[in-house]
A and B are shown apart, each in its own frame.
Chain A
Amino acid sequence: MIGQPAAGGAPASPGSSAPLVRVEGVGKSFPLGRKGRLQALADISLEMSAGELVAVIGPSGCGKSTLLRIIAGLEAPDAGQVQIGGRSADEVSATHRLGVAFQDHALLPWLTVAQNIALPYRLAGRPVDADRVARLAAMVGLADFVHSRPRELSGGMRQRVSIARAIVLEPELLLLDEPFGALDLVTRRLLNQEMQNVWATLGTTTLLITHSVEEAVLLADRVIVMAARPGRIHGQCDIPLPRPRDRAVSGTMEFLRLVQTVTVLLDEASAASAAASGPGA
């Protein structure tokens, strides 16, 4: 259940067939003033099966978002490669089969809720499927707000629009970069539940970046823990909890045990990161 991958190892879902997402030996560095370069990611390898929901968790600055940006094709890796269904991220996004939701929701302020959800159709140059847009708005609980603009919505509502927009074109791979990070605990729990319903309906392969251990364990099939300096995979934990998972699941011994397991991995990753950035590192 708990893995400590060897360097360059590829944490994969047990019993999976051909993986949908394959990240092989990815490294990335950024310029750091006159001091040279900051190694953000080193030798990251992971695989995701079709329909799997993988959460990535780790201390701040461990490169989680950079990893997501590389998988999304928004950053080019310095080393290694990413393949989604045997194609590069650029090829997949060119066929409009990637979905993404950012922490700051990135809704276009001049568009209504319905127009924001329909934006991927416009960007892809396809006719808007108004029925699907309406169904998704209803699915995320915003049927009464389709004509509202983002500034008229709460943070939680904006994030729901962002998620509906991410899945409107039925993506092969859904990338969620801390989508609930800026929300209060109550809204966050509510959206976690809604996210589960959406995911149960669509079964989209999903990579979720989060800071919350509980959220990762509640939502994911597998949690990958990253360490920093440089960003690398420290370990992983499979989450064999049955679905659907409602709030009651979070009170079970099994859930608490898994949270404890991931927390221990996270503590180890943080300690390893601190050691790596300490004197002489």
Chain B
Amino acid sequence: MRPEASSGPARAGWRLLGFGLALALWEAIGRSGLWGDSFPALSAIASAYDTPARRELLLRALGRTGGAAALGLLIGALVSAFLVCAAHLVTRLHEGIDSLSTTIHAIPTIAFAPILILLAGPDWTPVVLSAFAAYFPIMVAFDSGLKFAPRAPADLASVFGASPLRSFLRVRLPAALPSFVDGLRMAAPGAVIGAALGEWFGAPRGLGVIIISSLQNVRIPQLWAAALLCVACSLSAYVLLSVLHRWAQRRYAW
């Protein structure tokens, strides 16, 4: 027998209960010292926010990292959109763009980040690394949206005598918009991690800087506080883009 689907509030209640239990478990493990000093209790991590100066430091760093991630996501999205549109408008380019993008994505970030510091400077390295982390998932999702779109719209454009460009702009591109936004949603957490990682390599401010300095100074609760802010930033972006994706799906999907 299939279990009955629970209602919205009931589902939210179960989710909240599960989240609360996970936090309680974290607190218990931290307090017991089961996993050592590197896994502090949540109450200890909260102490990293207990003075206005610390709070301001962390929130300013969050703004910095969030800003770099947002800019990186935007650049990654624009680059992906340009490459995918070019690949679908000039089909001979498709395979080349696909291979090149996959190869670039396969290069370990850690390998070229130090070089980026020299090329882009410490202020722009987080943005560039964030864009690097973001472009590939957006590209894959957008490309699939265009490649595996239903045949009917393209047929329609063809019978009505549309040029390839008009067919692309009027019919295929809007139909692939939900896939593009889906790619943005998937790329958002990666963009935040990319920005934080970029800050490791000599950026003046940001959560990545706090994480690395906390690590070097063995300020474990502060390290966790900064890491949790990264998680919160990623999840917020994911949730916001999920809302946008639902809207795009309702309006543009076949």
Contact = CB atoms under 8 A, between A and B. Distances in A.
Please say whether chains A and B are actual partners in one complex: yes
Interface of A: 69, 72-74, 93-100, 102, 104, 106, 108-110, 119-120, 122-125, 169, 175
B1 interface: no
Nearest to A96: B161
A98 B160 CA distance: 6
Chain A to chain B: the 9 pairs with minimum beta-carbon distance, closest first: A123-B162, A106-B152, A96-B161, A93-B161, A100-B159, A123-B160, A120-B160, A94-B161, A110-B252
B59 interface: no
A108 B153 contact: yes
Contacts of B254: 109
B158 A93 contact: yes
9 contacts: A72-B155, A73-B159, A96-B160, A98-B159, A98-B160, A100-B155, A106-B152, A108-B153, A108-B171
Interface of B is mostly: helix
B159 A72 contact: yes
A93 B171 contact: no
B217 interface: no
A100 B155 CA distance: 10
B174 A110 contact: yes
A169 B163 CA distance: 16
A106 B166 CA distance: 17
A38 to B, nearest CB: 19
B162 A109 contact: no
Interface of B: 152-153, 155-163, 166-167, 170-171, 174-175, 251-254
A124 B174 contact: no
Contacts of A119: 156, 160, 170
A124 B174 CA distance: 18
B160 A93 contact: yes
Contacts of B158: 73-74, 93
Contact of A106 (B155, B174, B253): B155
A99 B156 CA distance: 9
Nearest to B254: A109
A109 B152 contact: no
Contacts of B253: 109
Contacts of B157: 123
Nearest to A97: B161
A73 B160 CA distance: 11
B170 to A, nearest CB: 6
A109 B253 CA distance: 7
Nearest to B158: A74
A109 B160 contact: no
Contact of A100 (B153, B156, B170): B156
Contacts of B252: 109-110
Nearest to B155: A74
B236 to A, nearest CB: 28
B251 A123 contact: no
B184 to A, nearest CB: 18
B20 to A, nearest CB: 39
Contacts of B161: 93-98, 123-124
Contacts of B153: 106, 108
Contact of A93 (B159, B166, B251): B159
Given A73-B159, A93-B158, A97-B161, 7 more contacts: A93-B159, A95-B161, A96-B160, A98-B160, A106-B153, A109-B252, A123-B157
A119 B153 CA distance: 11
Given A119-B170, A122-B170, A123-B167, A106 B156 contact: yes
A108 B155 CA distance: 13
A93 B157 CA distance: 10
Contact of B159 (A74, A95, A104, A110): A74
Nearest to B250: A151
Contacts of A106: 152-153, 155-156
B229 to A, nearest CB: 37
Contacts of B171: 108, 123
B162 A102 contact: no
A196 B152 CA distance: 25
A157 B155 CA distance: 21
A106 B160 CA distance: 13
Contacts of B160: 93, 96, 98-100, 119-120, 123-124, 169
Contacts of B170: 119, 122-123
Contacts of A95: 161
Given A108-B171, A109-B253, A123 B166 contact: yes
A81 B157 CA distance: 22
